[in-house]
Amino acid sequence: MASPLALSRRATLLAALGTAASARAFGDSSKFIPAVVQHGAHWDARLSGLRRLSWELERRTSVEVSLETRPLPLTSPQLFAHPFLYWGGDGEVPPLSAEQLEALRRYLTFGGFLFVDANDGSRGSGFDASVRRELARVLPQAPLAPVPSSHVVFKSFFLLDTAPGRLLVKPELEAAKVSGRTAVLYSQNDVLGALQRDEGGSWTYEASPGGERQREYAIRLAVNVAMYALCLDYKDDAVHLPLILKKRR
């Protein structure tokens, strides 16, 4: 069953859009369906990984999911029906238009959550350089900063002390805050690449340098990020620890 807080955040986002009709149009609005940013470069490299994330959420948690992705341009009104938005890329991203910048800023301001994932594992060039440039334009007053180990994302479902992906380019996540809330999380480690499967069902990529143990932690991190997007700081207290531990057994 979906969290009441997740449903209320959808309501807030839809209210920001200013149309109740849009809310009624989504019969699956209580389910986790990752929206994916359609940008001007290679935006769709991890759709299989996102479907796998939905599958892992259904298997490991009580979240209702739909095993699909929903690619959307940043200017789509439907963006506001999704509390989780994924922005992946492999290579440089062209500059966003003024309309795209304003739409993403509005989405984040009204409660939306953006997970940015460098599919190319770049550092200082490629996707990394261009997405940092664009995020600075979207949220000029909220620069990316390292995420401390005490952050809720590391205990939103699994208890974690690491943040790997398919790669381990950088040991920590980075975040941008809006009104004290973490609205953007960024990984340079290609988290969804660790969940990607080919048409035959095999893992598409090796997890390096830690192998299958690293992949498992990347999967757990992806689940935590999704749970954080749905609930935000809801689990920032010890009352949920027994539930988390029970789910882990």
Kindly state the DSSP code that residue 26 receives in the 8-state scheme.
Answer: -
Contact assessment for residue 54 and residue 34, using Cβ atoms and an 8 Å cutoff: yes
* Residue carrying the six token digits 């009204």: 110
pTM for the full predicted model: 0.86
Task: Compute the average pLDDT of residues 42-53.
Answer: 96
Q: How far apart are CA 145 and CA 51, in angstroms?
A: 29
Average pLDDT of every residue of the chain:
87
Tokens representing residue 111 in the block: 């409660």
Q: Which helix (H) or strand (E) holds 115?
A: strand 113-118
> How far from 228 is each of 96, 98, 137, 145, 204, CA to CA, in Å?
27, 29, 24, 18, 26
* Residue 62: other Cβ atoms inside 10 A: 11
- Residues in Cβ contact with 98 at an 8 Å cutoff, skipping those fewer than 6 apart: none
pLDDT band, residue 80 (cuts 50/70/90): very high
Q: How far apart are CA 210 and CA 18, in angstroms?
A: 47
**39 vs 248, residue with greater confidence:** 39
Give domain limits for the chain. Answer: 4-248
Phi then psi for residue 161, to 5 deg, are -130, 20
> How far from 137 is each of 81, 104, 204, CA to CA, in Å?
24, 10, 34
pLDDT reported for residue 28: 54
The model's pLDDT over 3-29, given as tens digits with 9 standing for 90+, comes to 554 545 555 555 555 543 333 333 355
Kindly state the DSSP code that residue 68 receives in the 8-state scheme.
Answer: -
**96 vs 1, residue with greater confidence:** 96
- Residues in Cβ contact with 126 at an 8 Å cutoff, skipping those fewer than 6 apart: 90, 91, 92, 118, 120
Contact assessment for residue 223 and residue 60, using Cβ atoms and an 8 Å cutoff: yes
Q: Does domain 4-248 have CATH number 3.40.50.12140?
A: yes
